[in-house]
Amino acid sequence: MTLKIDIVSDVACPWCAVGIASLERALDNLGRPQDVVLHFQPFELNPDMGPEGVDAIEYLTQKYGSTPAEQAVNRQRIIDRGAEVGFAFHPDGRGRIHNTFQAHRLLHWAGTLPDDQAQHRLKLALLRAYQGRAENINTHPVLLACVAEAGLPESEAQAVLDDATRYAHEVRERESFYQRAGIHSVPAFIINDQYLISGGQPPEVFEQALRQIQAETTDA
């Protein structure tokens, strides 16, 4: 039986990058089973943020009350966790926090393509751009560069970006669906619509959970 994993996450979430990389490592440890299908679902940490974004230090200070020194410690912790699972964060962190709605529209589009790995490749490219290179993920050139990196048709992606309404309803509907289901923080990994793994867990947590779920599914 196929294991369907819905990954609710945001490109702006560093722990999402850690969690997804950890899941990737776990799947490698399991020999990349053919019966695992990944779907990336939208979640916005900052849905009301304007197109110009905000300074990262100011944003974190206002949201969490943390000092720049505390933020530096937290950033190093995330960098170290990323390194453990093969994800390279930008060493200086993000200069600005940006709106990610356009990225989610593109991810939804990628999920409609006949290539069943298209969405997966685009998600990783977006994470590398935003979290790894601290690029402005709310600009068309950066988004299209990610599309090209993922090997997807740039002309089709450009058409999506040029029409602000395209897939907007679908993204909002998916966001609302998972919020109603109780997902209020990310990353969240939902397996076969019934098992939940929350947070940027280490690979062994994912590996153990997947082995157990596969065994339960086989025995059922």
Query: What would the two tokens of residue 154 be?
Result: 């740039």
First to last CA, the chain: 10
* Parent domain of 49: 3-219
What CATH number corresponds to the domain at position 129?
3.40.30.10
- Residue 152: count of CB within 10 angstroms of its CB: 21
pLDDT tens digit sequence for 99-117: 999 999 999 999 999 999 9
Q: What is the mean pLDDT of the chain?
A: 94
Position 213 pLDDT exceeds 80: yes
pLDDT of residue 35: 83
Can you give the pTM of this predicted structure? Answer: 0.95
* Average pLDDT over every residue of 58-78: 92
Q: How many CB atoms lie within 10 A of CB 105?
A: 23
pLDDT value for 1: 64
Return the structure tokens found at 168. Answer: 């907007």
Number of domains within the chain: 1
Overall average pLDDT of the 110-127 stretch:
97
Laid out side by side, the sheet with 36-42 consists of 36-42, 3-9, 188-191, 195-198
Residue whose pair of structure tokens reads 């153990």 in the numeric block: 208
